[in-house]
Chains A and B, each alone.
Chain A
Amino acid sequence: MAKLKTPTLPSNPLTSPKRPGKAYGPSTPLEHGAEAGITAVDWIDERTSLSGGLRWMMFRKVPKGTNWFYTLGSATMFAFLSQAVTGVFLAMYYDPSATRAYESIQHINNDVFLGEFVHGMHKWGSSVMVILIFLHMGRTFFFGAYKYPRELNWVIGVALLVMTMTMSFSGYLLPFDQRSYWATIVGVNINGTGPLVGPYLSEFLRAGPYFGATTLSRFYAIHMLLVPGAIAALMGFHLYLVAKLGTTAPPWVRAKSPDALREQKVSDL
């Protein structure tokens, strides 16, 4: 039986088509550089499919009329990031023991390069963050932005507010000077007056019936591990919901009526 001749294979079936450019394929160093970048991003995207989510996050539309009040939330997040970064540098030198804590802060203030500056940023950054989170909450309240469908995001936001206050309370003790020591004793005593859980809560915070050596390390662990971790996680969820539901428009902005829209569409054609 006569056999059909097998068709010749294309010279290289695997070479990708040339990219459109000035010449065929990259020729100048700049084009080579761009090509390398695109290849690297492609490699990551092929394995993670992150580009879709990123596009969804970055190129979602923000309603008409969005003004400067809408930057308060991101400003709060930025203040938190600043606290996180300065906090990491303070943690490199801080020693959470009752005998060494005060001296280690003195060492930060007096000896470490830019130590007092970073310590000051952390100290005053907390006030800035508290002010910003309250302003952000005020904006949400007065614009009615907590209403359907954003109820859950309001609840998460209040949880973030409580945790921010917990951060400032637990951080106040850490310098271990007279003011912070006695104010924290009174604060823990106040917790102790609560019904049912009160005494247990203050005993947990003190790590025992009295203010002792372990109290400081307990406050330190709460201040730099437990609460910031929870804040970061909840903040991520808060942001996801903002992107999914969309930021609100100011309540006085009205959409054009569908008729007006249709006329606009027709005239656009």
Chain B
Amino acid sequence: MNKREKEAYLREYGVLKSQGKPFFPYAIAKDSVMAIMVMVVIITMSIVLGAELGPKADPTSTTYTPRPEWYFFFLFELLRVIKPPALVPLATIGVPTICLILLFLLPFYDRGAERRPERRPIATAAGIFTICAIGYLTYLGAAAGPPTEIDIPVPANVRSQGSAAVANFKSGEQVVAQSGCAACHKFGENGNAGPGPSLTRVGARLPAQAIQRTLINPTAPMPSFATLSEQSPKQFEQMVGFLAALK
């Protein structure tokens, strides 16, 4: 906006304002009606939906599903969309930070004098696109259930080692399933494809030692299983054994 446009706007706005109505009681009345509606919605949600507590937090437990509040789903889903491990910092911090900076500086790069949405096609299209993108990612996040069951056929080399190895494989499978790994990793047909890499053939890529190290000291945002390895080393061993057997 140049000086002329600024003055034209201020003049126009001054006239509009002088033709308006006083804030009290006209705007206050509308605001009050809206406030009552907000209150009614909050009270209704509280009565209908309640405030149930889940089981108590337990750092050693293996049955959990790390899911954020629903309005963070779109940020979490960004991790699933951007998959390569080298780009993870881009998804976790890069894209949100850039979007936030763009949002902060909006009035400084969109300096046109026009205010009607239909005469600002780029801004309106960008706004609608952003809303659709956030809505779509939120929908994806809500639809991606936290699977707690993994069903993988026992590999041939495990079966050939006898029934003890098969039982170990099965209990390892259960530990992995209960630990919510499938929320971020794919195991054959089960689990979500991302943010973490597919673990269908992780045993072929990494030796058991490396898998163990990664579980204890993972790359963010994966949580560490160090407490599990200390509190119940047997379960942890079964977990590592199961993952190493996936070839």
Residues on A close to B: CB < 8 A? 57-66, 68, 70-72, 74-75, 78-79, 82, 102, 105-106, 109, 116-128, 130, 132, 138, 141-151, 154-155, 158-159, 162, 165, 168-169, 172, 175-183, 185-187, 189-195, 198, 211, 246-249, 251-256, 258, 261
Contacts and interface: CB of A to CB of B under 8 A. Distances in A.
A178 B68 contact: no
A128 B69 contact: no
A117 B46 contact: yes
Contacts of B70: 127
Given A63-B19, A178-B63, A71 B13 contact: no
Nearest to A181: B57
B50 A128 contact: no
Interface in B14-61: 15-24, 26-28, 30-31, 33-35, 37-39, 41-43, 45-47, 49-51, 53-59, 61
Q: Dominant SS at the B interface?
A: helix
Contacts of A165: 71-72
Given A71-B31, A182-B66, A253 B46 contact: no
Contact of B220 (A68, A102, A175, A193): A193
Contact of B127 (A63, A106, A138): A138
B107 interface: yes
A161 B21 CA distance: 30
B42 A130 contact: no
B116 interface: yes
A109 B93 contact: no
Contact of A252 (B37, B65, B116, B123): B116
Nearest to B16: A63
Contacts of A254: 12
B220 A59 contact: no
16 contacts: A66-B20, A78-B35, A116-B51, A120-B46, A123-B51, A143-B115, A144-B116, A144-B117, A147-B112, A175-B53, A181-B64, A183-B67, A186-B223, A187-B72, A248-B13, A256-B19
Contacts of A251: 115-117
Nearest to B70: A127
A267 B103 CA distance: 48
Given A78-B35, A178-B54, A246 B13 contact: yes
Contact of A59 (B17, B19, B22, B120): B22
A193 B18 contact: no
A191 B19 CA distance: 50
A151 B107 contact: yes
A168 B71 CA distance: 9
Contacts of B20: 61-64, 66, 249
B175 to A, nearest CB: 16
A82 B42 contact: yes
A251 B100 CA distance: 26
B27 A66 contact: yes
Contacts of B69: 126-127, 168-169, 172, 183
Contacts of A158: 100, 103-104
Contacts of A123: 46, 51
A123 B71 CA distance: 13
